[in-house]
Amino acid sequence: QVQLQESGPGLVKPSGTLSLTCDVSGGSISNSNWWCWVRQPPGKGLEWIGEIYHSGSTNYNPSLKSRAIISVDKSKNQFSLKLTSVTAADTAVYFCAREADFDLWSGYDNWGQGTLVIVSS
Amino acid sequence: DIVLTQSPLSLPVTPGEPASISCRSSQSLLFRNGYNYLDWYLQKPGQSPQLLIYLGSKRASGVPDRFSASGSGTDFTLKISRVEAEDVGIYYCMQVLQPPRAFGQGTKVEIK
């Protein structure tokens, strides 16, 4: 059973860079299709940030204005999110998730528990 | 970008009664392979989202059969045949046809 676990600083200063890692256990990161990041500001809905394909190609939400970078480290079986030039509006719970099926979309069937990141001085 | 609009945004339900949530897309989510690229997720209080339905109508593993979904193109519906207390939470539809993938605003289901 694949499990995902987010980690990273819970507090980031304005204009700084938010860096999060999603550790994958119970299976190889190479054996799933898409790996994504989703966030949820306090009391608000879900926002898709972006994703990385097993081949390494990426897609991002243009609303983040090119501030997001998602990468994979296969040697550590983890993938990461960097979000630059953060403001208070980036305060949110950040989730990582995966879509497993190489042949036909099967949904984000595995999610991490989420990690709260607060942007504040 | 594709925009999803859910209704209602709040849904008080009575246990044992049916419930229905609508999701409308600004563009067709029907792909050339015949599948609609729309998922449904439930976020229970204090938890991560969980997958209920993928490709418009396919129930995810372990999802009770009281949950069903239908629709094609731009109009979709999630139905709960008989609501149980454990079904409370926020339901989101999500388009996965093309990036940027996007969620609807969410529908909060609570017990009357």
Nearest beta carbon to residue A48 from set B33, B100, B106: B100
pLDDT computed for residue A33 by the predictor: 84
Residue A35 contacts B, CB cutoff 8 Å? no
pLDDT, tens digit, for every residue of B35-53? 999 999 999 999 999 999 9
Nearest beta carbon to residue A107 from set B48, B51, B102: B51
* Number of CB pairs, chain A paired with chain B, less than 8 A apart: 69
pLDDT computed for residue B46 by the predictor: 96
Residues near A111 by beta carbon (within 8 Å), at least 6 away in sequence = A4, A95, A96, A97, B48, B49, B50
Mean pLDDT (chain A) is 95
Q: What chain B residue is nearest to A95 in terms of C-alpha separation?
A: B48
- Lowest mean per-residue pLDDT among A7-16, A28-37, B96-105: A28-37
The reply to whether omega before B100 is within 30° of 0 (cis) is: yes
* Sign of the CA dihedral with B103 first, then A3, B47, and B88 last: positive
